Amino acid sequence: MARFAIAVHGGPYESQAPISALRFATTAMSAGHEIARVFFYHDGVLNALMRETLQDEANPTSLWQKFASDTGVELTVCIAAALKRGIFDEREAKRYGTQISMADGFVLAGVGQMVDAAITSDRTITFLP
């Protein structure tokens, strides 16, 4: 079985990248493969933004949260890209004097976390917008 690192570069409503990545990750794990980490980069960090959606609209953020909860796979968000887009966890919100805007289940980290996942994986799969 293979070990995958996944990078999501597309935002939740601008492209199919997040949903395609989620389907890939879910299918890979159900086939017995391992996901080292999912790393959200560029506009992909918007998947970690706390938001309300319409009842009849899919919410990619909650789908990722459920995936992480069910599988234990870490959802890592690029800290530089997140801060540029107004996404703050508790620590960064205190630092910048603002409110928490990152959804539960996501973790801010540097690009080094993606590099680490890529090095320790058989394949890195990138989902672009």
Q: Which residues are identified as catalytic? A: 78
Tokens at residue 57, please? 């609209």
Handedness of CA 59, 65, 66, 71 (dihedral sign): positive
- CB contact at 8 A, 5 and 118: yes
Kindly list the strands in the beta sheet with 106-109, ordered across the sheet, starting from the edge strand earlier in the chain.
Answer: 106-109, 75-78, 34-40, 3-8, 123-127
For the chain, the C-alpha Rg in angstroms (whole number) is 14
Residue with tokens 């004097």: 97
